[in-house]
Amino acid sequence: MSSFLDPYLDDSHRVFRELCRRFAEEQLAPHAEAWEEAGSFPRELYAQAADAGVLAPTWPEALGGGGGDTFHGVIAGEELLRGESTGVVVGLGSLQIALPPILHLGTPEQHRRFIVPVLAGEQIAALAITEPGTGSDVAAVRTRAEPDGDGDGYRITGSKTFITSGVRADLVVVLARTGDDPHGGLTFFVVERGMAGFEVSRALRKTGWWASDTAELHFDGVQVPASHRLGDEGSGFSALMRNFEGERLMLAINGTALAALSLEHALAYAHQREAFGRPLKKLQVIRHKLAEMQTQVASAQTLTYAVADRMRRGEPCISEVALAKNHASLVARDVCWEAVQIFGGMGYMRETVVERFARDARLLPIGGGTQEIMNEIICRFGLGL
């Protein structure tokens, strides 16, 4: 799985890959089926992952992160999936989308107060953008943050939905409207569990990602002090666009890894399973399926790693990351589906990892901006249409 990544790596990445793989195989995989069926994983896992150094490899060391580069994040995304649960990977990973607005817009005091406990695995963070009435059209966000008449704070009112880790989050980074301009009137706030008027209205059930929680949240005049506002009023939209690039890279990596691991499982099964007196690997139809799956995985890896390298160099890549996400999503859809086919009846059983991965892959063209929205971005920023 790593061959296309090799030109981008140094020894620190190789050592880190081994660390992540060991953590996934020893601490995650033995429990994956139970956690998926339970729809949850133990809260202590955040601290275990932090102690092992796999929770926040790319975050600044001064805040408790690993101080690594983009490819340490790529490797963590790939290797933690060997723990056989996308739900666990995205549950542990919700900090990767929730904390960047705090890092980029927040003060040193906000970094210390909100980021440090999350990177230590003591608190859980979630990002709340999507609302029951709007997802793709972020400029239509209706949750409002009105000035609080009694002081210099705000009162937040509205609802958010589909929020990863929202059920048990200690802090939620919320995009709210502080002005009427569709883009220029959006601002990020930190809302903490226990604040009056903030409640988890529903825990949602999903097609895949079972071990991660997904919430509908309600804010009924939640009073937040000005110290919980991130950056100036109106700074939310541009911070969110920056956030999306990191999130879309993570999803492209997830798609690539789901496909690569499904291929690994299918290959192992083709060696061991016999039909008509021969192992499946001797049947030309199966052999060619595996060759085509390998071709697709290699194309997704090559594209995704090239975009990750561009991000590491700090180059703009809004259109490139959109097409990497779309390509990896389609590759994951096809390869995970074919892996189920190679497993035959066992591929349809819940005890089989490729069954889980095929369900998990369905999220990729939806979450973090849909396939259609990615195509719009490619048209606008890549093709100048």
Q: Catalytic amino acids?
A: 247
- Buried (b) or exposed (e) across 202-233, using 16+ Cβ within 10 A? eeeebebbbbbbbbbbbbeebbbeeebbbbee
CB of 91: closest distance to ligand FAD in angstroms? Answer: 11
Nearer to ligand FAD, 129 or 311 (CB): 129
Tokens found for residue 143:
């949750």
Tokens found for residue 304:
């995704």
Nearer to ligand FAD, 107 or 207 (CB): 207
Q: Single out the residue of 27, 122, 376, 378 in contact with ligand FAD (rule: CB under 6 A).
A: 376
Could you give the CA distance from residue 159 to residue 265 in angstroms, rounded to a whole number?
41
Tokens found for residue 378:
């490619």
Residue 366 in the binding site for ligand FAD (CB under 6 A): yes
Looking at 237-365, which runs of residues are DSSP E strands?
274-275, 278-279
Q: Which residues in the 177-236 window bind ligand FAD by CB under 6 A? A: 206, 209, 214
DSSP code string of 344-369: GGGGGSTTSHHHHHHHHGGGTTTTTS
Q: Single out the residue of 135, 153, 231, 236 in contact with ligand FAD (rule: CB under 6 A).
A: 135
Q: Which of 200, 302, 180 is nearest to 253 (CA)?
A: 302
Residue 170 in the binding site for ligand FAD (CB under 6 A): no
**Sole window of 35-43, 106-114, 115-123, 359-367 interacting with ligand FAD (rule: CB under 6 A):** 359-367
**Sole window of 56-64, 122-130, 273-281, 344-352 interacting with ligand FAD (rule: CB under 6 A):** 122-130
Q: 119 and 47 in contact (C-beta within 8 Å)?
A: no
Q: Single out the residue of 127, 260, 323, 354 in contact with ligand FAD (rule: CB under 6 A).
A: 127
Q: Single out the residue of 18, 51, 181, 372 in contact with ligand FAD (rule: CB under 6 A).
A: 372
Residue 162 in the binding site for ligand FAD (CB under 6 A): yes
- Residue nearest to ligand FAD as judged by C-beta position: 135
Q: Which of 200, 195, 178 is nearest to 187 (CA)?
A: 178
Nearer to ligand FAD, 185 or 367 (CB): 367
Residue 172 in the binding site for ligand FAD (CB under 6 A): no
Nearer to ligand FAD, 98 or 339 (CB): 98
**Sole window of 10-18, 29-37, 124-132, 300-308 interacting with ligand FAD (rule: CB under 6 A):** 124-132
Could you give the CA distance from residue 213 to residue 226 in angstroms, rounded to a whole number?
29
Residue 129 in the binding site for ligand FAD (CB under 6 A): yes
Contacts for 49 with CB less than 8 Å, ≥ 6 apart: 23, 27, 55, 92, 121
Could you give the CA distance from residue 316 to residue 368 in angstroms, rounded to a whole number?
18
How far is C-alpha 294 from the geometric centre of its chain's CA atoms? 24
**Sole window of 26-34, 112-120, 352-360, 361-369 interacting with ligand FAD (rule: CB under 6 A):** 361-369
Q: Which residues bind ligand FAD (CB under 6 A)?
A: 126-130, 135-136, 162-164, 206, 209, 214, 363, 366-370, 372-373, 376
